[in-house]
Structure 1
Amino acid sequence: MSDAKPTIVLVHGAFADAAGWAPVTRILLDQGFPVIVPSVPNRTLSGDSAYIRSVVEQIEGPVVLAGHSYGGAVITVAGVAESVTALVYIAGYALTEGESLGELQGGFPDSDLAAHLVQNTTPVDGPEFTVETAAFGEVLAAGLDPKVAQVLAAGQRPLAAAAFGEAASVAAWRTKPSRAIVAAADRTINPDVERFGYQRAGIEHVVELDGPHLLMQTHPAEVAKVITDAAAL
């Protein structure tokens, strides 16, 4: 049996890119893990999941998939790839088959995010959303240095409206060991949405952190620990 560490693939969510994972990426690299942080197109759930699955299937050896926010929905579908040994949800959506982001969120009161979305139109993908720059620090990046929040706001990757309404085709948590983190002070996703999804998925190892949506920035050591615990499964 090989002692090689699994590759950890970190999947960002809406209004984000690989930079949001930077503190956790550094910790994992320092611990000797191979790490890949791909850029998610944020166009459709099926397309984004297919892309991440293609990344996973080109990696030699086992893979741990960690998804933040919308990235949780992506790993729920992409995680059925044979080489995936574990899933980790960080303030993320754990959808079930036939369920969309809009349907899961619709069962709970809106977070602060809903009032601060900006809609734009693209020539190919139709409507897409970003977060008001002035509200980004308060809603998504609470607890961060305001200058860091400004940089993250400037680098937002928009989410196409189509991604909100598309249902998950599969739920990888049914067959893959999973761990999860709730952001108890989340103002982007209602924390009860996170709790409900994790409970429904039967995830036994759930950590609650008293932090905002971008836990990878505010609590990188704790997030990395949950990921490395999953890697040891």
Structure 2
Amino acid sequence: MAAVVLVHGLYHCPEHFAVVAERLRAAGTEVVVPELHRGSLAADTAAVQAAVDALQEPPIVLGHSYGGSVITGVRGAGHLIYLAAFVLDVGESAAGLGGASQQLRNAMTPGPDGSTSLAPDPAVDALYGDCPEALATWAVGLLRTQASGCGRGVPERHSWKRTPSTYVVCAQDRAIDPGLQRTMAARCTDVREWQTGHSPFVGRPDLIVALVQELLSTTNTPRRRDEPVTTMR
């Protein structure tokens, strides 16, 4: 069975991908949405690696935002999708590349233990500004407190150098600068650009479902896990 692993970003949780997961499962695709918030990039990567390793075939692995840092360190994917996400090279971290926009930083509220949370109103504007109000309210209500330091994590592996990859630039993004996204997208095999904000899995889940199904339909040749790939840009 074709399989997809969906990896959420900072402050988010698996439930944010509920509609995408439901539609893909209805079409016969196995979908796994690991829980992050493990306290570090290394721990989050290990959680996603365990999900990938449990599948019979190399899955499509999609990472959103910080989730790109996570999937960069995962081995065994058949295809990587970076959704407004960080594509890190040796020694790089999400924070080091520019990280969150000032608009998203303005939404952050520090906790006494170094963690941060997002104030609802500015979070809606930064993350879900192009979503219908009811969906934005639902999505912001799911946001979680984030442990410190994850955005400064540096992956040990760089799987985009060996695995076919698609980058989706969200051109109306207010959380990660679209210009930075385009720079990182140049590292990937294929680039798409959508006229959406930071979180199309909330406002436009149809776009993500269609992209995943397209990639599933065109990835027909079995490939060994971590077999090198020659990229053309």
Indicate the TM-score class for this superposition, using the shorter chain for normalisation: 0.7 to 0.9
Alignment partner, residue 15 of structure 2: 19
Given residue 141 of structure 1, which amino acid in structure 2 is its aligned partner? Y
Query: In angstroms, what is the RMSD of aligned CA positions?
Result: 1.7
TM-score (ref. length: structure 1): 0.87
More strand by share: 1
Deviations 1:165-208 (A, max 9, x none): 22121211000100121110000111122111111x2x242111
Greater than 6 Å deviation, 4+ residue runs: none
Match of 1:85 among 78, 90, 93: 78
Alignment partner, residue 104 of structure 2: 113
Q: Distance in 2 between matches of 1:121 and 1:43?
A: 16
Deviation at 1:90, TM superposition (A): 0.8
- Residue 49 of structure 2: SS of its match in structure 1? helix
- Residue 128 of structure 2: SS of its match in structure 1? coil
State the aligned residue count: 218
1:30 aligns with 2:17: no
State whether residues 67 and 89 of structure 1, in contact with CA within 8 Å, keep that contact through their aligned partners in structure 2: yes
Deviation at 1:150, TM superposition (A): 2.3
Alignment partner, residue 40 of structure 2: 44
Q: Percent identity?
A: 25
State whether residues 104 and 123 of structure 2, in contact with CA within 8 Å, keep that contact through their aligned partners in structure 1: no
Deviation at 1:42, TM superposition (A): 5.1
State whether residues 21 and 217 of structure 1, in contact with CA within 8 Å, keep that contact through their aligned partners in structure 2: yes
Given residue 212 of structure 1, which amino acid in structure 2 is its aligned partner? G
Deviation at 1:143, TM superposition (A): 2.0
Q: Which has the higher contact order (CA 8 A, sep 6+)?
A: 1
Gaps of 5+ in 2: 220-233
Deviation at 1:26, TM superposition (A): 2.3
Gaps of 5+ in 1: none
Given residue 20 of structure 1, which amino acid in structure 2 is its aligned partner? H
Q: Distance in 2 between matches of 1:95 and 1:158?
A: 24
